[in-house]
Homo-oligomer: A and B are copies of this chain.
């Protein structure tokens, strides 16, 4: 392995001068710079990151922790972040975590290893933050989630208003004449986002003079096709009158639709379905999925802006709400057939 010493020897300069050139510092003569760069090129030298990071205490990098690898919304957000950071001098260290990993613990490890100057969490469980976030002292932004009732001096958040969005989804179903509405969502004990969306649903029910009976109309699922497929089966069993379903992600919605079709229901003629997230897939699916679209570009942009405001401008953390958008799609129908059949 060729090291900085080899480059020093071959170029005729000292290690320090080589190091200076490598780090683009300006206290080097043009001659030295040129010669050293030649040798670096010739030997195809790449500095050893481990040695570098062992010594340095601030790598000019920012870390991204993504919870859930096949989350299309997160994929879009990461892409956006990558483009933004790509234009700066900073490097990006993206780490993909399992859906039930402890992102805060992982963040601690990342900090030790890479010494990032800031962190972006895509998804995250407030419980984990309450438990371990105090160990982290660099500026952070929690994206698509917020931590209520707990304030940290270095933690901002950027999120869609999940309560309002959940309400909006169910409102759309009420507006189409539905009153027997089922809901497919995450485990509200663990997924704070699901809990908030459910609160929104309850609000909508109230506004329409009804009470949401959770035992009957809420069914728990993981955020995957087949888990939603099975959940939809269970929901149908315990709440057969259902004429409309709000699924808390587009993936869930698609799983539910397949389940319903396999039970010979037509979407939206027999049963209406609305999803959440507004991923690309929603507009490519048949029928086009009605959904609540999270503005992934805005989420990404604001997260990065807020992070840098904390880092460079030493701003206090803020908790920002990003607007969402109702996408009508083709999967919501006005209520009719089903009721007639039952009467």
- Residues of chain A having any CB pair with chain B under 8 Å: 1, 46, 48-51, 53-54, 69-70, 72, 75, 78, 94, 96, 109, 112-113, 225-226, 229, 254-255, 257-258, 261, 280-281, 283-287
A54 to B48, CA, bound (A): 8
A79 (CB) vs chain B CBs: closest residue = B69
Indicate how many identical chains form the complex.
Answer: 2
A177 to B109, CA, bound (A): 59
A109 proximity list for chain B (CB < 8 A): 46
Tell me the minimal C-beta distance from A52 to chain B in angstroms. Answer: 8
Q: Do A254 and B284 have beta carbons less than 8 Å apart?
A: yes
> Within the complex, which residue of B46, B78, B112, B258 is in contact with A284, where a contact is CB–CB below 8 Å?
B258
A285 proximity list for chain B (CB < 8 A): 254, 285-286
A283 (CB) vs chain B CBs: closest residue = B258
| Given A75-B70, A225-B284, A285-B286, A113-B261 contact (CB < 8 Å) | no
A72 to B226, CA, bound (A): 15
A49 proximity list for chain B (CB < 8 A): 50, 112-113
16 A-B residue contacts at CB 8 Å?
A: A48-B54, A49-B50, A49-B112, A50-B53, A50-B54, A50-B113, A54-B54, A69-B78, A70-B70, A96-B96, A254-B281, A254-B284, A254-B285, A258-B283, A258-B284, A285-B286
A257 proximity list for chain B (CB < 8 A): 284, 286
Q: Do A286 and B286 have beta carbons less than 8 Å apart?
A: yes
A287 to B283, CA, bound (A): 15
A287 proximity list for chain B (CB < 8 A): 286
A225 proximity list for chain B (CB < 8 A): 280-281, 284
> Within the complex, which residue of B50, B96, B112 is in contact with A46, where a contact is CB–CB below 8 Å?
B112
A48 to B115, CA, bound (A): 11
A101 to B287, CA, bound (A): 35
Tell me the minimal C-beta distance from A120 to chain B in angstroms. Answer: 16
Tell me the minimal C-beta distance from A44 to chain B in angstroms. Answer: 9
A288 (CB) vs chain B CBs: closest residue = B258
A48 proximity list for chain B (CB < 8 A): 54, 112
A258 to B283, CA, bound (A): 8
A254 to B72, CA, bound (A): 16
